[in-house]
Structure 1
Amino acid sequence: MIQAYEYNQQNELIRPIEVFERDDEGNYIIPEQCTTIAPPNNPSFYKAAFDVKKQQWYESATQEYIDSLKPALLPPSDIELLKKQNAFLSKQLTQLLAMQKVGASD
């Protein structure tokens, strides 16, 4: 038995398969749309695809697709919200005190 890697019509990796069948000479019969060339583990691909002419795997995922897999930003924590609110209120208080000083000096 040998390991082969099946790919679809767009040459994107579908799954690894085990090949058991042999021809009369003892050679393994590799099914169509398969290769015995393993996709690289490091660096791993988001969407591995096989270049039949070059006999090598390449990254077929677009940057947009890769970015879509990244986790969404978490909403700010309660502490972060309180810090922002405190900074905003401190700024407002400073401005009010400054305005009072200007009014008192007139």
Structure 2
Amino acid sequence: MIQIYPYDSEGFFLGQPETLNPDPVTGQYKIPEKATIIPPVKDGQGMWRPWFDSEKQEWIEKADQKYKDSLKGPTDPPSAVDQLKAQSAATMVQLAEAQNLIESQAKMIADLFLMLAEGGEA
């Protein structure tokens, strides 16, 4: 019994090795066309997106940094300091909005007092 490493029609590893038993009559192994006995390892390490070069009989790494980043899980949750910074920024925005509202209300009150002083006519 041996392990084989199947790949798709484009040459990319299918993700799981398979076990191959010898032919019961001849005792020899018949490796499928889209498989190899060479593990998808380079320099003793696994690969992100192994591609098999059937001419050179070797696996080649085809993953770029964008692909690797897409496989990573979510980033670490924000630290307490980052959370406090975000809360502070949100509070500053609310404070600025409240100040604008106060200024507009003060202007409306001043305009109303001016109208009253001029005789109450609009």
On whether the aligned pair clears a TM of 0.5, the verdict is yes
Q: Which blocks of at least 5 consecutive residues in structure 1 are unaligned?
A: 86-106
Query: How far apart in 2 are the matches of 1:82 and 1:46?
Result: 37
Q: Percent identity?
A: 38
Query: How far apart in 1 are the matches of 2:19 and 2:81?
Result: 54
Structure with bigger gyration radius: 2
Shift of 1:9: 0.8
**Paired residues for 1:4-83 under 5 Å:** 4-14=4-14, 15-22=16-23, 24-40=25-41, 42-74=44-76, 76-82=78-84
Query: How far apart in 2 are the matches of 1:17 and 1:82?
Result: 51
Shift of 1:20: 1.2
* Superposition TM-score, scaled by structure 1 size: 0.64
Query: How far apart in 1 are the matches of 2:28 and 2:74?
Result: 49
**Contact between 1:5 and 1:34, CA under 8 Å: does it hold in 2?**
yes
Q: Which blocks of at least 5 consecutive residues in structure 2 are unaligned?
A: 89-122
Q: Which residue of 1 aligns with 2:3?
A: 3
Q: Which residue of 2 aligns with 1:95?
A: none
Shift of 1:81: 4.2
Q: Deviations over 1:9-64 (max 9, x none)?
A: 11111121111142754321111201111121732211111110000111122221
Query: How far apart in 1 are the matches of 2:51 and 2:33?
Result: 15
| More RCO (CA 8 Å, sep 6+) | 1
Q: CA RMSD in A?
A: 2.8
Distance change in 2, residues 1:23/1:30 (3 Å) = farther
